[in-house]
Amino acid sequence: MVTSDFQRARRPEHKEQRREAILAAARLLATRDGVRSVTLGDIAGEVGVHKSALLRYFETREEIYLHLTAAGWRDWAAALHTALDGATGASTAEVAGTLAQSLHERPLFCDLLAHAPMTLERHVSLESVRAFKLSALDAVEDIAALLARVLPGLDSVSGRNVVATVTSLGATLWQASHPPDTLAQLYREDPRLGHAVVDFTPRLRLLTEAVLVGLLASADDA
Amino acid sequence: MVTSDFQRARRPEHKEQRREAILAAARLLATRDGVRSVTLGDIAGEVGVHKSALLRYFETREEIYLHLTAAGWRDWAAALHTALDGATGASTAEVAGTLAQSLHERPLFCDLLAHAPMTLERHVSLESVRAFKLSALDAVEDIAALLARVLPGLDSVSGRNVVATVTSLGATLWQASHPPDTLAQLYREDPRLGHAVVDFTPRLRLLTEAVLVGLLASADDA
């Protein structure tokens, strides 16, 4: 049933439905199993079609996840607007808490942030990576401007630097706090590795606040 | 000649020479071409032996690069001692400059820092990942204590957080400033993507200083 419906799609709105179904399946599997472990075959199986049918809608597995990364940027920007639009004059602690909590609530986006530069951007066409970069940069600019409005003294250049730092740390700390099975076993068994265990949200909040305070202090000096 | 010498190694010191020859070949190729593009076959070709000969010394390609990552941590810690051991009371700007410059001078280490959690730690045995983690954590503790000595007011917990932030940003910014060919072409051609181009060392120095200033400020408040 799913298969024949899927393959009969000819009208533009049906094609868009098929694309959405593929993206939804890819999102479900990566949220459950991690981005690295999902293959194009897994996504096709979840949608209920053959792999070749997917390739009429997306170039590669990586293009599918690059679309989800771009969607993740838009979703994150929207969530930050909801939390911070009325928060002009908020403290650095409050803004750092909002940034860290919003990434804590978006584990798939954190996973994708690590995979985008390492693998996803490298296995798609020039036009796909252009579309992704323009979409992600729009979100970065939007969030940078929001942060500059909420924290007087922070300019939009510093706002972009905050976004770069928070997403770099979010990606790194998320991977560190979701180790492979061998490492998870080591962390449980070997007390010498206690410091390697990362508590994602408090650490991200602490370091985000430090960057905000440090960038505001250098703005004061200028 | 290389091949027959290599395969005849039986005494422990000869085995150690073989291991060093493999590591040197892997280092050379990854420095030239990037970690992601070097295969076990490439390393074997550079050493002048068959792949199967390498597997008597290392489990996988990833174990070879995990060894080089651990060596990179030790080398980085030694370089920071040389630069900072006599620098007690240095400014945050000086310490941030030293940290950023020392990573700028270690492009292979920056590349490995991104690959270690994403791929290298995931394709080796429990004992290999344990040896790597213990070695890397030793270096982190060493550098954290050094930073705490140089910057009065920074405790060793904050020192560890500085190391985590600098290495996360170093890994991310290095990947961003060494894009794949498609992205490099886009950056040259599409002015809308100007903000995506990363100037590695100044950006790393700026954000490292912000984190140092922010962490010292929160220590003052406590």
- Domain boundary at B58, B77, B96, which? B58
Q: Who among B168, B180, B213 is closest to A121 (CB)?
A: B180
- Domain boundary at A12, A39, A58, which? A58
Largest CA distance in chain B: 66
Assign residue B156 the CATH number of its domain: 1.10.357.10
Instruction: Give me the pLDDT at residue B9, please.
Output: 67
- Regarding whether B72 and B147 lie in a shared domain, the answer is yes
Instruction: Give me the pLDDT at residue A10, please.
Output: 72
Partners of B139 on chain A (C-beta within 8 Å) are none
Share of chain A residues as helix, strand and coil, in percent rounded to the nearest 5: 80, 0, 20
Confidence class for position A2, pLDDT limits 50, 70, 90:
very low
- Regarding whether A2 and A108 lie in a shared domain, the answer is no
- Regarding whether B199 and B136 lie in a shared domain, the answer is yes
Closest residue by Cα to residue B23 from B49, B38, B43: B43
**Tokens 């409050």, located at residue:** A94
φ and ψ at residue A55, rounded to 5 degrees: -75, -5
Instruction: Give me the pLDDT at residue B1, please.
Output: 41
Q: What sign results for the dihedral spanned by CA atoms B142, B172, A108, A58? A: negative
- Regarding whether A106 and A31 lie in a shared domain, the answer is no
Instruction: Give me the pLDDT at residue A182, please.
Output: 86
pTM: 0.93
What's the mean pLDDT when you consider all of chain A? 92
* DSSP secondary structure of B154-211: --HHHHHHHHHHHHHHHHHHHHHHS--HHHHHHHHH-GGGGGG---HHHHHHHHHHHH
Per-residue pLDDT reduced to its tens digit, B42-90: 999 999 999 999 999 999 999 999 999 999 999 999 999 999 999 988 9
Question: How much is the average pLDDT of A182-196?
Answer: 86
- Domain boundary at B58, B77, B98, which? B58
| Cβ separation B192–A134 shorter than 8 A | yes
- Regarding whether B90 and B159 lie in a shared domain, the answer is yes
| Cβ separation B134–A193 shorter than 8 A | yes
The reply to whether B168 touches chain A by the CB within 8 Å rule is: yes
Distances (CA, A) of A221 to A208, A218, B102, B211, B218: 20, 5, 26, 16, 18
- Regarding whether A67 and A53 lie in a shared domain, the answer is no
Assign residue A30 the CATH number of its domain: 1.10.10
- Regarding whether B69 and B52 lie in a shared domain, the answer is no
Q: How far apart are the C-alpha atoms of A115 and A65, rounded to whole Å?
A: 9
Instruction: Give me the pLDDT at residue B6, please.
Output: 63
The number of folded domains in chain B is 2
Q: How far apart are the C-alpha atoms of A62 and A70, rounded to whole Å?
A: 12
- Regarding whether B179 and B89 lie in a shared domain, the answer is yes
Per-residue pLDDT reduced to its tens digit, A134-176: 999 999 999 999 999 999 999 999 999 999 999 999 999 999 9
| Cβ separation B176–A211 shorter than 8 A | no
Q: Who among B118, B183, B212 is closest to A118 (CB)?
A: B118
Interface-testing mutation among B211, B218, B220, B221, with chain A (most A C-beta atoms within 10 A): B211
**What is the rounded (10 degree) CA torsion for A212, A214, A218, A219?**
20
- Regarding whether A42 and A94 lie in a shared domain, the answer is no
Mean pLDDT, chain B cut into blocks of 10 residues (222 residues total): 56 88 98 96 96 94 97 98 93 97 98 96 93 96 96 93 97 93 89 82 97 91 68
Per-residue pLDDT reduced to its tens digit, A36-93: 999 999 999 999 999 999 999 999 999 999 999 999 999 999 999 999 999 988 999 9
Instruction: Give me the pLDDT at residue B211, please.
Output: 97
What range defines the domain where residue B34 resides? 1-58
- Regarding whether A206 and A110 lie in a shared domain, the answer is yes
CA angle B119, A135, B196 (to 5 degrees): 65
How buried is B191 (Cβ within 10 angstroms: 0-12 exposed, 13-18 middle, 19+ buried)?
A: exposed
Q: What is the ipTM of this complex?
A: 0.92
Instruction: Give me the pLDDT at residue A198, please.
Output: 81
**What Rg do the C-alpha atoms of chain B give, in angstroms?**
20
- Regarding whether A36 and A144 lie in a shared domain, the answer is no
Taking each helix axis from N to C end, the angle separating B156-177 and B200-221, rounded to the nearest 10 degrees, works out to: 160
- Regarding whether B182 and B95 lie in a shared domain, the answer is yes
